[in-house]
Amino acid sequence: MSYYLQQYIKSISMIKGFKYPVFLTFFILTGFLLSCGNSADTNNYLQGEWHISKAYRNGRKTVTLEKVYFKFWNLDSLQTNFTGQDRKFKYIVRNDSIVIDGDYPSFKIVKKEDNTLAIQTSINGHKFKLILKNNDKDAK
């Protein structure tokens, strides 16, 4: 804990009648519950099969990824061919990122809107931005 935070907490705890442990517990619990809800909403949104609409490598549009797909199911399973091989993984959503087990890259979620998902990642110094569409969400 930083020196300034320690001093702040110490000064607050000196206020007569202030219940530091109760306040801190409430603050931490509220933050935890809010972050869990966001991840759960995002995870539900991801469910289904997503296909590349547009892809960018190092800021330039590329067509070499046009057959790439991401399929999410069971709220923790993912299948994709992003690196060229069709593979299945376990994943979690954490802080607006899709974190995949093993040595696979994580994807930062930059946009969630209707049937459009935009994600970013870096691999071997190359930055990728993928715009994905889920046609099943159009039918809903």
Query: Mind listing the pLDDT tens digit for each residue in 81-116?
Result: 998 999 999 999 999 999 999 888 999 999 999 899
In whole angstroms, give the CA distance from residue 121 to residue 129: 7
Q: Which domains does the chain have, with CATH numbers?
A: 42-139 (2.40.128.280)
In whole angstroms, give the CA distance from residue 82 to residue 126: 14
Supply the pLDDT for residue 93.
96
Closest CA to 99 of 89, 107, 111, 87: 107
Supply the pLDDT for residue 136.
79
User: What is the average pLDDT across 24-33?
Assistant: 44
Please state, as a whole number, how many other Cβ atoms lie within 10 Å of the Cβ of residue 72.
Answer: 23
User: Which tokens belong to 43?
Assistant: 């995870």
Q: What angle do CA 67, 51, 125 make, to 5 degrees?
A: 70
Supply the pLDDT for residue 59.
97
Say if residue 24's pLDDT is above 50.
no
User: Which tokens belong to 4?
Assistant: 């300034």
Supply the pLDDT for residue 2.
58
DSSP string, 88-134: EEEEEEETTEEEESTTPPPEEEEEEETTEEEEEEEETTEEEEEEEE-
1-10, 34-43, 115-124: least confident range: 1-10
User: What is the average pLDDT across 70-78?
Assistant: 96
